[in-house]
A = this chain, B = another copy of it.
Amino acid sequence: MKSFRKELWFEIPGRRAFVNITPDVKVCLAESGIAEGLALINAMHITASVFINDDENGLHHDYEVWLEKLAPHAPTSQYRHNRTGEDNADAHLKRQVMGREVVVAVTEGKLDFGPWEQIFYGEFDGGRKKRVLIKIIGA
C-alpha cells in the first residue's frame, strides 16, 4: 500500500471565501503515483470546510447568503462561545453545514468525478493562516 501526504496553506484576507482547490489536489495525485485508492481532503481547522460542489459564482453568493441566514455572525453576543474572546462562533456552525472533509475515489490515476464536481476550501473565519490536508492511500 502506498500513501501520500501534503498540506495546502491559505491566508484569506476577508472573513469568508470559497477557493477551488481541485487543481492542487490533481497535482498531489499525480505526485503520489497512486492509481487506485481513496483521497481524503480535509480542513485542519474547525472554522473551515472542504466540500464538493459547482464552480459558479452565483451559487457561491447563494451559499454565503444562506449560511448567514442559518447561522448569523451578528450579534456576536448571541453565542456563548464568543465569551471566550472570539467572535467566530458562527463559523463553527457554518462549517458543520458545509462539512469538514471529502473522500474522493481514485481510479486509473485520476479523481473519479462526475461532470461538475469541483473541490472547494470554504473559509468562515479568515485573516489567519490555515491548512488543508490531502492524504491519499492506495496502490
Residues of A within 8 A of B (CB): 1, 3, 5, 36-38, 40, 42-46, 51-54, 56-59, 61-63, 66, 70-71, 79-84, 89, 92-93, 95-105, 107, 112-117, 131, 133, 135, 137-139
Q: Check if A53 sits within 8 Å of B138, measured CB to CB.
A: no
Copies in the complex: 3
Q: Check if B105 sits within 8 Å of A46, measured CB to CB.
A: no
Q: Check if B131 sits within 8 Å of A114, measured CB to CB.
A: yes
Please name all residues of chain B whose beta carbon is closer than 8 Å to the beta carbon of A95 when the two chains form the complex. Answer: 53
Q: Report 22 cross-chain contacts, Cβ distance below 8 Å, ordered by A residue.
A: A1-B37, A1-B138, A1-B139, A5-B105, A5-B107, A36-B137, A37-B137, A38-B137, A46-B52, A46-B116, A54-B92, A58-B81, A59-B81, A59-B89, A63-B92, A63-B96, A96-B99, A101-B102, A105-B133, A105-B135, A112-B135, A137-B138
